[in-house]
């Protein structure tokens, strides 16, 4: 048995999957001040009449880190930058105290300048008097050579062991892009303590219920990581809500391989995402949170500020929607008419109080020419228009993503969705009309009310790894792994490929021993360049990337979500 739990802002949902079928779902109101409690409530609901010994794994998607960052709930933090030459780093100020240290690494990972002894001394004194024990250290090009970051770290360990939360950019965010690495590392430092407490509590509580399942967390990229790993990489769990919903779509869309537009309509916002060839799209550089650009790999997701609870306004004789949540709808006991009321008046939603909704609408149309039905249709059309605009904008952006080789430029295929899928409360009412406006085939998945929890449950672990080799300097390096590896003798693309794949396989094994087929490990990127000095080849730079793609865990076998029958709410 597998359990998926999605801790959302409003509700915490859960699903229990047995033999590839959803056998139980649960929903409770999220307690924002005690997420662990919400998790346990849902868990208990799901476990009624089940043998908890038979649960193999539980996957959580949680908003904890997202909330900590949004509410700025973190301890005093320090940030050390080793920026070297380049853009002025003044704007990169985060947390309580910032230090800029001398020292630099160049683009090939060569140490141009070491840390300076005198500077180190005074830094250490300042750190000691500040009382800060949460520290992020990030150097420019530290992904190519982390020695300066590591040197500083061991220096602190030696002289100030009480500073026990030291995070390095080269470990937390081992990809190029210094400012994003700084944001990501600092955020990871900031959420570290709270996140650790939360995860340990969850672990204990689950064990107390006699469950010995492997515990996983859903990451922003729609993959999972062991809960243990989540302690060191808390920042990877930001934005796991949208990721859960996209993975839910993926599970519910079954064998659909056409490019599909995904819409998740909530009360306040509508989220837009895309799946092409059964694989969701990514944010190319990393996700953004609270204005911080990070290097956390996440699934592509765009939000528009319109949803079921959006307010209806009349302006200059025109009726339309405002990007403002009022809710609930008048038909459901609210006081201000919303998009949902328009759906009620238009006869697309049968639940709720028809009469109240029509009364509220009658007031709205007093000063305009439209009948109630016309006004309702105009509002619904307004919503469709907002979605359409956002989708068009997103497609333009995606189809303009730069490429850097002639081959890619010529073989670049345009993304054109053929299908639109929708989940969320008003999905059933909105989908037919919207699909018509977008000119796409509509699909309304089953279980759309618990798609997120379902997505979390069936997501498989994802892994990413980069190998960078410089055969002239005779080393290769794997991202996030300590130290350089020596190269002896000839080292070709083939050798690099083999090392990377071997390494990925062992990482997969460590990741909870899930049966990930080696076929799922793919090399996504290969580059090799001859290094020319004075017109003769000195060696090569090799860059390879490999990943286990996000997707549905094959260990689950055939998912049978198209089963009929009522699921108890």
Partner 1 sequence: MKSNVPVAKNRLGLIFFPAYDWAITPDHPEREERLLYTHDQIIEEGLLDVEGIYEFKPELATEKDVARVHICVPNVKTLATTSHLISAGGAITAAKKYIEGVVDKAFALVRPPGHHAFRVVHGNRGFCNINNEAIMVEWLRTNYNPELKVVFIDTDAHHADGTQDIYYHDPNVLHISIHQDGRTLYPGTGFTWELGGPGAMAKTLNIPLPPGTTDEGYLYVIDELILPILEEFKPDLIINSAGQDNHYSDPLTNMGITAQGYAELNHRLNPHLAVLQGGYSIEDALPYTNLGILLAMAGLDYSNLKEPDYHPSRSRQDSRTMDQIKQIVEQVRYYWENRDRLISDEFETIGNGYYQREREIFYDTDYISEKQKETVKVCNTPDCHGHIFIKSIGTHLGIYKKRVSIAAVIIPRLVCKECQQIAREKYEEYCQKGQYHYVYLQNQVNEEYLRWVRE
Contact footprint for partner 1 (CB under 8 A) = 83, 85-89, 91, 104, 106-108, 110, 112-113, 140-141, 176-180, 183, 285, 288, 290-293, 400-407, 409-410, 527, 529-532, 534-537, 541
485-486 β-sheet, strand order: 485-486, 475-478, 463-470, 536-548, 521-533
Shortest separation between residue 347's beta carbon and partner 1, angstroms: 39
Residue 417, C-beta contacts closer than 8 angstroms, at least 6 positions apart:
258, 259, 260, 261, 274, 391, 395, 438, 440
Shortest separation between residue 91's beta carbon and partner 1, angstroms: 5
Shortest separation between residue 251's beta carbon and partner 1, angstroms: 32
Q: Specify the residue, 255 or 400, whose C-beta has the smaller distance to partner 1.
A: 400
Calpha distance 306→321 (Å, rounded)? 8
Angle between the N-to-C axes of helices 178-208 and 35-47, in degrees from 0 to 180, rounded to the nearest 10: 50
Q: Specify the residue, 176 or 336, whose C-beta has the smaller distance to partner 1.
A: 176
Q: Specify the residue, 55 or 272, whose C-beta has the smaller distance to partner 1.
A: 272
Q: Specify the residue, 116 or 125, whose C-beta has the smaller distance to partner 1.
A: 116
Shortest separation between residue 534's beta carbon and partner 1, angstroms: 6
Tokens of 69: 């960052």
Shortest separation between residue 377's beta carbon and partner 1, angstroms: 33
Phi, psi of 433 (to 5 degrees): -65, -40
DSSP 363-411: HHGGGSS--HHHHHHHHHHHHHHHHHHHHHHHHHHHHT----SHHHHHH
| Other CB atoms within 10 Å distance of the CB of residue 190 | 28
Q: Specify the residue, 37 or 527, whose C-beta has the smaller distance to partner 1.
A: 527
Q: Specify the residue, 179 or 551, whose C-beta has the smaller distance to partner 1.
A: 179
Residue 565, C-beta contacts closer than 8 angstroms, at least 6 positions apart:
none
State in Å, rounded, how far the first CA of the chain is from the last one.
20
Shortest separation between residue 291's beta carbon and partner 1, angstroms: 3
Q: Specify the residue, 48 or 406, whose C-beta has the smaller distance to partner 1.
A: 406
Angle between the N-to-C axes of helices 451-458 and 240-252, in degrees from 0 to 180, rounded to the nearest 10: 90
Q: Specify the residue, 88 or 564, whose C-beta has the smaller distance to partner 1.
A: 88
Calpha distance 29→176 (Å, rounded)? 40
Shortest separation between residue 379's beta carbon and partner 1, angstroms: 27
DSSP 196-218: HHHHHHHHHHHHHTT---EEEEE
Calpha distance 420→425 (Å, rounded)? 16
Shortest separation between residue 403's beta carbon and partner 1, angstroms: 7
Angle between the N-to-C axes of helices 354-364 and 372-399, in degrees from 0 to 180, rounded to the nearest 10: 90
Q: Specify the residue, 139 or 223, whose C-beta has the smaller distance to partner 1.
A: 139
In 3-state terms, what secondary structure has residue 31?
Answer: coil
Q: Specify the residue, 541 or 556, whose C-beta has the smaller distance to partner 1.
A: 541
Calpha distance 279→460 (Å, rounded)? 13
Shortest separation between residue 315's beta carbon and partner 1, angstroms: 25
Shortest separation between residue 175's beta carbon and partner 1, angstroms: 9
**Which parts of 48-97 fold into alpha helices (H)?**
64-70
């Amino acid at each position: 048995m597998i359990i998926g739990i999605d801790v959302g802002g409003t509700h915490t949902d859960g699903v229990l999957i047995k033999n590839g079928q959803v056998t139980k779902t649960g929903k409770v109101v999220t307690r924002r001040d005690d997420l662990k409690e919400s998790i346990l409530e849902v868990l208990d609901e799901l476990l009624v009449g089940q043998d908890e010994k038979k649960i193999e794994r539980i996957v959580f998607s949680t908003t904890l880190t997202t909330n900590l960052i949004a509410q700025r709930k973190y301890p005093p933090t320090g940030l050390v930058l080793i920026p070297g030459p380049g853009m002025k780093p003044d704007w990169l100020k985060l947390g309580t105290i910032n230090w800029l240290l001398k020292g630099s690494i160049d683009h090939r990972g060569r140490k141009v300048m070491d840390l300076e002894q005198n500077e180190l001394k005074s830094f250490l004194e300042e750190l000691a008097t500040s009382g800060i024990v949460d520290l992020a250290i990030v150097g420019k090009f530290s992904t190519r050579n982390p020695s300066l970051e590591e040197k500083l770290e061991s220096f602190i360990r030696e002289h100030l062991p009480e500073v026990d939360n030291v995070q390095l950019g080269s470990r937390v965010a081992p990809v190029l892009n210094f400012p994003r690495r700084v944001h990501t590392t600092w955020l990871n430092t900031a959420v570290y303590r709270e996140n650790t407490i939360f995860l340990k509590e969850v672990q204990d509580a689950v064990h107390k219920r006699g469950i010995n399942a492997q515990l996983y967390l859903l990451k922003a990229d729609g993959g999972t990581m062991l809960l243990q790993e989540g302690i060191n990489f808390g920042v990877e769990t930001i934005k796991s809500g949208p990721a859960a919903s996209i993975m839910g779509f993926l599970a519910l869309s079954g064998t659909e391989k056409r490019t599909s537009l995904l819409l998740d309509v909530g009360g306040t916002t509508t989220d837009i995402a895309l799946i092409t060839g059964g694989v969701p799209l990514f944010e190319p550089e990393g996700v953004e949170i609270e204005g911080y650009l990070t290097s956390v790999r996440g699934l592509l997701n765009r939000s528009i500020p319109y949803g079921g609870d959006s307010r209806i306004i009349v302006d200059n004789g025109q009726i339309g929607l405002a990007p403002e949540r009022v809710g609930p709808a008048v038909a459901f006991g609210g006081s201000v008419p919303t998009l949902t009321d328009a759906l009620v008046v238009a006869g697309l939603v049968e639940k709720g109080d028809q009469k109240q909704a029509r009364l509220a609408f009658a007031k709205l149309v007093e000063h305009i020419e439209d009948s109630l039905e016309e006004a309702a249709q105009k509002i619904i059309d307004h919503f469709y228009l907002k979605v359409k605009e956002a989708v068009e904008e997103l497609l333009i952006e995606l189809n303009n993503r730069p490429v850097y080789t002639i081959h890619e430029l010529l073989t670049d295929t345009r993304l054109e969705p053929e299908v639109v899928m929708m989940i969320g409360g008003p999905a059933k009412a909105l989908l037919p009309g919207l699909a018509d406006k977008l000119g796409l085939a509509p699909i309304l998945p089953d279980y759309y009310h618990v798609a997120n929890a379902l997505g979390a449950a069936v997501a498989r672990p994802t892994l990413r790894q980069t190998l960078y080799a410089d055969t002239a300097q005779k080393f290769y390096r794997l991202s996030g792994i300590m130290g350089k590896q020596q190269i002896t003798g000839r080292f070709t693309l083939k050798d690099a490929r083999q090392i990377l794949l071997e390494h990925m396989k062992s990482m997969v094994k460590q990741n909870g021993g899930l049966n990930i087929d080696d076929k799922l490990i793919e090399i996504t990127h290969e580059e090799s360049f001859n290094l020319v000095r004075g017109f003769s080849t000195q060696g090569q730079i090799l860059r390879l990337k490999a990943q286990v793609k996000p997707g549905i865990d094959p260990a689950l076998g055939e998912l049978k979500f198209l089963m009929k029958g009522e699921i108890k709410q």
